[in-house]
Amino acid sequence: MAPPIEDYAMLGDTRTAALVAPDGSIDWLCVPRFDGEPVFGRLVGGSGAGSFRLGPAGPAGSFSVRARRYRPDSATLETIWETRGGSLTLTEAMVGEVAGRLLPTTLLVRRLSADAGPVEATLLFDPRPGVGRSRPRIEHRGGVLVASWPGTAVAVQAEPHVRVEAGRPVTVRVEPGRPLTVAVSVADREPLVHVTAATAWAALEADERAWQAWCRGIDEDLPHRDMVLRSLLTLRLLTYSPTGAPVAAPTTSLPEHVGGIRNWDYRYAWPRDASIGVGAFLGVGKDQEARRFMAWLLHATRLYRPRLPVLLTVHGRRPVAEREVTGWPGYAGSRPVRFGNAAADQHQLDGYGWVLDAAWLLTDAGHGLYAETWRAMAGFADTVAARWREPDAGIWEVRGPGAHHVHSKLMAWLALDRAIRIAEHRGPRRRRFGNAHARRRERWRRERDALAADITDRGFDAARGTFTRSYGSAELDAALLVLPLLGMLPADSPRIRTTIDAIRHDLHAGGPLLYRYPPGRDGLPGTEGAFLPCSFWLAQALAASGRLREATELFDALVELASPVGLYAEEMDPATRHHLGNFPQALTHAALVQAALAIRDARQPQYAAAQSSLDQ
Amino acid sequence: MDWAGWALFGLLATAALTAVLIAAQLAGVTRLDLPLLLGTLVTEDPDRARFAGFFVHLGVGEVFAFGYAATFALLGRAAWWLGGLLGLLHAAIALTVLVPLLSGVHPRIASNRAGPASTAALEPPGLLGLNYGARTPLVTVIAHVVYGTALGLLLEAS
């Protein structure tokens, strides 16, 4: 029986990430990157897909988790078990900062310590690389177990020495004052770097101090600051440091409905989701992270511009063709397990709006765009001006015929509006090309106004007084909660208020939860859970439209829904409150930060004045 | 063979190589941009970097042209096909050695080992430059064969 998704915790090094179950079993790890092949794939591949357990010995009922948390302001995970022999603590992390030192590119460090008396522990190391879940070649070199397969090798070293056997549990006695430290090194197309346990532990501690320094200085006035910090750390851990690409989640095929077919591969970078992250990082003063995203976007989209791809690999390539893996049982029987993502081929208009809004946020924050960056943004705006009349797949990537999604049109409006703002901001430096620029701006302005008229004419249900999911539809879409943030209408306008209230009513999923659209209305069999980012968007929308008390109450309730270690998936089962979908999900964490920032801003006395100037 | 011609012919051949790379970029075949990679050694602004990088690239092209001319002199003849063969060798070295090594010395190219503290903005090229697009090796080979062929032709004719 698989643990609930929310019972997993993530270890990460900003290049890849592992998921750890409460019993100390790493059930998911891809190397050398987020989108690499799984070495431990039990999460969706069954027991034959490999795992790495370090935890109390004995059957499941013979120990219990007393506490599980990340150490404050760090990526180091601590699990404390109560066992018959006493308590046992597992402290673990992946080392992010390896550059400039002779350390393996991927280094996982796990330390077991007994607090009172000696405790029996189990070490089970069972790597099964790739979709084929093949058994690697195993050798013992000195005291080190080395598992290798073409191109890759993984070394396991324990101190005090333990002879680790691949695929066979080894029982170890952990004495108080003599912790067991296990270091796992991965080499991908390079020689293995062996590290002693002491070196590995020192690297973990140095990383922990670096993360604590990274968190220092973040606004003390943020509501639920600890949760905001956890979200920011999660967003940073999901950003691939070699390129600056943020992945949506480190997993594939965790189901949106247990036993269902809505199982997708999220180990890629969606420019849309990433742009939301830019706002989150900028809002807390992490400008470097925001700028790195724009640099990645500029480089990654080079081959596709002026079209904006829906998603890309961390290196800016097209993802591999989506395929269903036969023989993998899936999480709790949720098949198929997919690698690759076919949404890459879709036309989604809304992405342009998110990206241009991120560019505007950077510009507005004083980070002028390089000329090439501006050319790319202007090209995106031209694409929107030329294509906004076409149907698209929309933010929810519905697989089937396109539609005129109102949210997509709103985001197209946003794209053109932000392009105009940036152009006006840059204006004085571009006088020599004044006429051409003025004509281009005039076209954007014309198309933006035509879009606003079209949305109001065809995307608004006059009878209910609400904007709709798509032209001619009476349904609602929780993505419309962006309305108060755009500036197309005043944030407190009756149309926005009515739409927000109608979404709260029609898409209500119990408690603070919302469905993204009426469940099951996406052409796929089965249903899905409530969509967590939408609830945070609702809190943000309420704060932005002057309903601070409601926003705060909702935010408080949403924070209660976090996993035991403060993480969120994409969705949640409204009945059981179990998390659903890939985990942890960057979009949910970015939405949490954005909601917290909106509430913080709404509390400022000068907020009302700033808001009214934005609306003008 | 006119030994003295290598400087001028080196410039012409490097310009031809650059033209192939830029054409491939504009056609959406690769993201490899040698002037940008070289220019970001001195500035962060992509447009200024390309300008500076173009001249750095010309200089590097001259150095390689000297090597080609010396090889032709050693062999006692210059020919377009010989230049093309040398171009193939040059491309192989560039893809397997020079470009991947850049991330070790370039302050603005991240390495595959980059961590949270990395401020480098350019993604590493990876083996064969494949991170810049699947057809990058092909474009690089074509560009260098054009470079070598041009040098062979010009030095043969002079």
Instruction: Check CB contact under 8 Å for A99 and B45.
Output: no
Q: Any chain A CB within 8 A of the CB of B115?
A: yes
Which H helix or E strand runs over A17?
strand A17-20
Residue ranges of E strands in A462-589: 466-467, 530-531, 571-572, 579-580
Instruction: Check CB contact under 8 Å for B121 and A244.
Output: yes
Predicted confidence (pLDDT) at residue A253 exceeds the cutoff of 80 = yes
Contacts of A390 (CB under 8 A, 6+ apart): A347, A349, A402
The predicted-structure confidence for A430-479, as pLDDT tens digits, reads as follows 555 668 888 999 999 999 999 999 999 999 999 999 999 999 999 999 99
- From first CA to last CA, the distance across chain A in angstroms is 56
Predicted confidence (pLDDT) at residue A614 exceeds the cutoff of 60 = no
A298 to chain B nearest CA, in Å? Answer: 10
Q: Please give the residue of chain B at the shortest CA–CA distance from A239.
A: B116
User: By percentage, how much of chain A surpasses pLDDT 90?
Assistant: 78
Q: What confidence tier does A610 reach under pLDDT thresholds 50, 70, 90?
A: low
8 A C-beta contact, residue A483 and residue A416: no
Contacts of A564 (CB under 8 A, 6+ apart): A6, A7, A68, A69
Q: Any chain A CB within 8 A of the CB of B104?
A: no
Q: What confidence tier does A609 reach under pLDDT thresholds 50, 70, 90?
A: low
C-beta neighbour count of A457 within 10 angstroms:
10
Query: Can you say whether residue A21 is alpha, beta or left, with left for phi > 0 and alpha for psi between -120 and 50 degrees?
Result: beta
How far from A562 is each of A279, A478, A534, CA to CA, in Å? 22, 20, 15
d(CA A485, CA A417) in angstroms, rounded, equals 12
The shortest CB-CB distance from A242 to any of B112, B117, B134 is to B112
Across residues A241-245, what is the average pLDDT? 92
B residues 14..33 contacting A (CB < 8 A): 25, 28-31
Which H helix or E strand runs over A92?
strand A86-94
Q: Any chain A CB within 8 A of the CB of B96?
A: no
Least-confidence region, from A86-95, A176-185, A269-278, B59-68: A269-278
- 3-class secondary structure for B64-124? HHHHHHHHHHHHCCCCHHHHHHHHHHHHHHHHHHHHHHHHHHCCCECCCCCCCCCCCCECC
Place of tokens 């076409």: A390
Predicted confidence (pLDDT) at residue A520 exceeds the cutoff of 90 = no
Instruction: Check CB contact under 8 Å for B123 and A242.
Output: yes
Across residues A367-390, what is the average pLDDT? 94
- For residue A87, which phi and psi values (nearest 5 degrees)? -95, 150
The predicted-structure confidence for A187-230, as pLDDT tens digits, reads as follows 988 888 989 999 999 999 999 999 999 999 899 999 999 999 99
Q: Which residues of A518-528 are buried (b: 16+ CB within 10 A; e: fewer)?
A: ebeebebeeeb
Residues of chain B with pLDDT under 70: 1-4
The shortest CB-CB distance from B45 to any of A32, A292, A370 is to A370
- pLDDT of A428: 60
The predicted-structure confidence for A97-145, as pLDDT tens digits, reads as follows 998 888 999 999 999 999 889 999 999 999 999 888 889 999 998 889 9
- pLDDT of A218: 93
The shortest CB-CB distance from B118 to any of A99, A211, A299 is to A99
**Calculated CA dihedral for residues A29, A33, A35, A38, nearest 10 degrees:** -30
d(CA A314, CA A246) in angstroms, rounded, equals 7
Residue ranges of E strands in A401-503: 460-461, 466-467
To probe the interface with B, which of A214, A289, A298, A299 has the most B CB atoms within 10 Å?
A: A299
The predicted-structure confidence for A534-556, as pLDDT tens digits, reads as follows 999 999 999 999 999 999 999 99
Q: Any chain B CB within 8 A of the CB of A69?
A: no
Predicted confidence (pLDDT) at residue A347 exceeds the cutoff of 60 = yes
Mean of pLDDT over chain A: 93
The predicted-structure confidence for A505-519, as pLDDT tens digits, reads as follows 999 999 999 999 998
The predicted-structure confidence for A548-577, as pLDDT tens digits, reads as follows 999 999 999 999 999 999 999 999 999 999
Place of tokens 């509430």: A599
